[in-house]
Amino acid sequence: MDIILYAETNITLIMHQMGHLYDNLYDLFNQNFAISARKKYCRIALGALYHPRCLVHDDFYCVVFIHKRDLDQCDPSFLNRFEKHIIDIQALIHPRHWSLSQQLYTWLDDFLPKNLGNHFPLLQHLFVNHSQNHICNLAIEAFEQLNISTDDEEKPEKIPEIINYC
């Protein structure tokens, strides 16, 4: 029911892992609106027999996030209703943060013994909650805590200070 209330306002609704609802919102996603008195209405299925017409604000938008690994399980006709964009962490962060996180990852990888095998030890075994995203978050936090602007000229002498912070 909250989705109906959100559709009446001028917000951008972000949905993630809501597959059980997508079929009920067929007309909303298809922008299949009925116009009455200069207002848009769409049918939303709430159960087998109840299909109320709900007001849709002109500036209401809906964004559906689907993980790349889950695309195979999605109905193609559902996917065809949307603009599609691929978003990865590298597109969301500043290049200096990404560069530093790669340097940190390489530095950490050098700690691993190379002659023991392919599956042990890994960085996950040496550091609790290790992930590539966590390293990137550390780099961003270091820039913030050390008051280093991403717009400033890159200074090689700052890199050891940032790595020590991380």
So where are the chain's domains? 2-79, 89-165
Spatial distance between the Cα atoms of 136 and 131, rounded to a whole number of angstroms: 9
Structure tokens at 80: 């065809």
pTM over the 0.75 mark: no
Tokens 């609790």 map to which residue? 128
Structure tokens at 135: 């390293």
What letter does residue 131 receive in the DSSP assignment? -
pLDDT band with cut points at 50, 70 and 90 for residue 1: low
Q: Classify residue 136 by burial, with Cβ atoms within 10 Å: 0-12, 13-18, 19+.
A: buried
**pLDDT value at position 9?**
95
Of 21-35, 84-98, 112-126, which range is least confident?
112-126
Contact call for residues 6 and 13 (beta carbons, < 8 A): yes
Spatial distance between the Cα atoms of 4 and 75, rounded to a whole number of angstroms: 23
Q: Is the pLDDT of residue 25 over 70?
A: yes
Taking every pair of C-alpha atoms in the chain, what is the biggest distance, in angstroms? Answer: 74
